[in-house]
Amino acid sequence: MSISSQPPESGPDLAAYLDRLGIGAAPSALPPTLATLRTVQRAQLLAIPFENLDPVRGIVPALEVPALEDKLVRRRRGGYCFELNGLLSAALTALGFTVRPLAGRVVLGVGDEGWASRPATHLALAVDTEEGTHLADAGFGAL
């Protein structure tokens, strides 16, 4: 699985994405600032739910931007961290942010001794703004 900080050649359909999130602004009105990052991340968290039905059913979700847009934007489904943060990464990159993928471990319910042996199975994002680097995560389904 690869998520690039470079915009895909076809790029995400930002108008459809922002409409799905309920953001009425045109993409050109959303500069790569901390305020925009907060707005977009919060809107995605509220609009697109965590859903892991496909992996539980043994279906391997496609992680390319067109497939993510089809499932999460057009068909209005939810997704798990690689899908949700993959879409968020593509959208933020298209808005002008520099985005880097981060692998993480989920350690809820794991004692102090067991966390280091957990596999890195979660995707989060490091997003650069003029105000610094920030953690963005629209794909955590617990609590």
Over residues 92-110, the pLDDT tens digits come to 999 999 999 999 877 766 6
Q: Is the pTM of this model over 0.95?
A: no
Give the pLDDT confidence score for residue 5 in this predicted structure: 43
Give the burial string for 19-41 (b: 16+ CB within 10 Å, else e): ebbebeeeeeebebeeebbeebb
Query: Is pLDDT at 49 greater than 80 in this prediction?
Result: yes
Q: Of these residues, 70, 112, 122, 128, which one is catalytic?
A: 122
Mean pLDDT value across residues 74-82: 95
Query: Residue 82: pLDDT band by 50, 70, 90 thresholds?
Result: very high
Determine the 3-state secondary structure of 49 from DSSP: coil
Q: Residue 85 has what pLDDT?
A: 97
Sequential DSSP letters for 92-105: HHHTT-EEEEEEE-
* Domain range annotation of the chain: 14-136
- What's the pLDDT band for 3 if we cut at 50, 70, 90? very low
Catalytic residue among 13, 81, 112, 134: 81
Domain 14-136 superfamily per CATH: Arylamine N-acetyltransferase (3.30.2140.10)
Confirm whether 81 is a catalytic residue: yes
Tell me what pLDDT residue 17 has: 97
Q: Which residue has the higher pLDDT, 141 or 51?
A: 51
Task: Catalytic residue, from 13, 54, 128, 137: name it.
Answer: 137
pLDDT at position 121: 78
* Residue 54 a catalytic site member: no
